[in-house]
């Protein structure tokens, strides 16, 4: 099965469109869960604004929006000059993007709303073109990107440590070879592991190379995910 991370920005007939009328409003959907047996989604969202009055006005508009069934402010506070509210919302499930994600056996990584648009990051086993077609039936898609996560997984497998390398790494760490100053010398560690100094040198070089490559790969994949929102 091939999995893809799919990033899409869209305009949907949803309360998210209200963010276009409020400068500086940013919404992060922390969770959204369908309510079994009912055409409802319960969502917890974090709404922030540079202006407390604007935040209050925005939430009042959301409360009156046609697909909002209930809005409850759980908490409100200020952080780094921004006014923030944590809110529980009950919205319609049918016709929503959440419904499409759930029914297509996909998974939401992240959902944000600002400037009148919804910005989704979705993990899916669907062909990206098929998912895109489905999304276009429900919303006005403004932009999209995706990449194959199996490619990243393959690269990670190539830098996996062998059982022997794990043994060497654990023993070297346990005996303080990586401390400064060293608690055990290379020659002493080689004797403990039952190998020559030259063999241990090669094993340690292989371990360090793999760990360095793994970290570089992790950083690159993290940056690739971040660029999906640019």
125-145 per-position pLDDT tens digit: 888 889 899 999 999 999 998
CA distance 153 to 1: 13
CA distance 85 to 78: 9
Percentage with pLDDT > 90 across the chain = 55
- 109, pLDDT greater than 80: no
* Residue with the larger pLDDT of the pair 61 and 125: 61
Pair of tokens at residue 66: 């046609």
- What does the pLDDT read at residue 108? 80
Domain edges within the chain: 4-148, 159-227
Q: List C-alpha distances in Å: 85 to 3, 65, 109.
A: 34, 18, 21
CA distance 121 to 225: 9
Query: Which CATH number applies to 159-227: 1.10.760, 1.10.10, 1.10.3430, 2.40.50?
Result: 1.10.10
pLDDT band, very low/low/confident/very high, at 225 (cuts 50, 70, 90)? low
Q: List C-alpha distances in Å: 163 to 166, 188, 206.
A: 5, 21, 13
- 98, pLDDT greater than 60: yes
- 194, pLDDT greater than 90: yes
- 183, pLDDT greater than 60: yes
- What does the pLDDT read at residue 151? 57
- What does the pLDDT read at residue 168? 92
pLDDT band, very low/low/confident/very high, at 9 (cuts 50, 70, 90)? very high
* Residue with the larger pLDDT of the pair 153 and 52: 52
């Amino acid at each position: 099965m091939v999995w893809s991370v799919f990033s899409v920005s869209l305009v949907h007939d949803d309360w998210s469109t209200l963010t276009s009328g409020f400068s500086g409003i940013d919404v992060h959907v922390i969770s959204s869960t369908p309510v079994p047996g009912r055409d409802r989604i319960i969502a917890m969202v974090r709404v922030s604004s540079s202006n407390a009055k604007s935040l209050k006005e925005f939430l009042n508009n959301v409360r009156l929006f046609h697909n909002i069934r209930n809005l409850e402010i759980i908490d409100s506070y200020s952080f780094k000059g921004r006014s923030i509210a944590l809110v529980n919302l009950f919205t319609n499930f049918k016709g929503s993007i959440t419904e499409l994600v759930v029914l297509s056996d996909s998974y939401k990584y992240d959902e944000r709303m600002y400037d009148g648009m919804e910005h989704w990051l979705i993990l899916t086993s669907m062909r990206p073109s098929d998912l895109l077609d489905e999304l276009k039936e429900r919303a006005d898609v403004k932009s999209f990107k995706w990449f194959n996560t199996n490619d990243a997984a393959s690269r990670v497998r190539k830098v996996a440590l062998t059982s022997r390398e794990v043994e060497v790494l654990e023993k070297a760490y346990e005996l303080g070879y990586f401390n400064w100053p060293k608690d055990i010398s290379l020659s002493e560690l080689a004797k403990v592991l039952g190998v020559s100094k030259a063999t241990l040198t090669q094993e340690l070089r292989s371990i360090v190379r793999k760990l360095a490559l793994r970290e570089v790969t992790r950083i690159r994949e993290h940056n690739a995910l971040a660029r999906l929102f640019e």
